[in-house]
Amino acid sequence: MMKVLLFGSNGQVGSEIYKMFSSNYEIYPFTRNSANFKNPDQIKKCINKVQPELIINAAAYTNVNKAEQNKELAEIINCHTVAVIANECKKNNIILIHFSTDYVFDGISNKPYIETDKSNPLSIYGKSKRNGELKILESGCNFLIFRTSWIYSAQENNFIRKIIDLSLQEEKLCI
If you write DSSP's letter for every residue of 121-133 in order, what string do you get? --SHHHHHHHHHH
- Return the closest-CA partner of residue 155 out of 39, 9, 1, 37: 9
Does residue 28 carry a catalytic annotation? Answer: no
Set 28, 103, 125, 152: catalytic member = 125
Interatomic CA distance for residues 130 and 44, integer angstroms: 21
Which pairs count as long-range contacts for 103-106, CB under 8 Å and 24+ apart, including other chains? Answer: 103/64, 103/129, 103/149, 104/129, 104/130, 104/133, 104/147
The residues annotated as belonging to the active site are 125
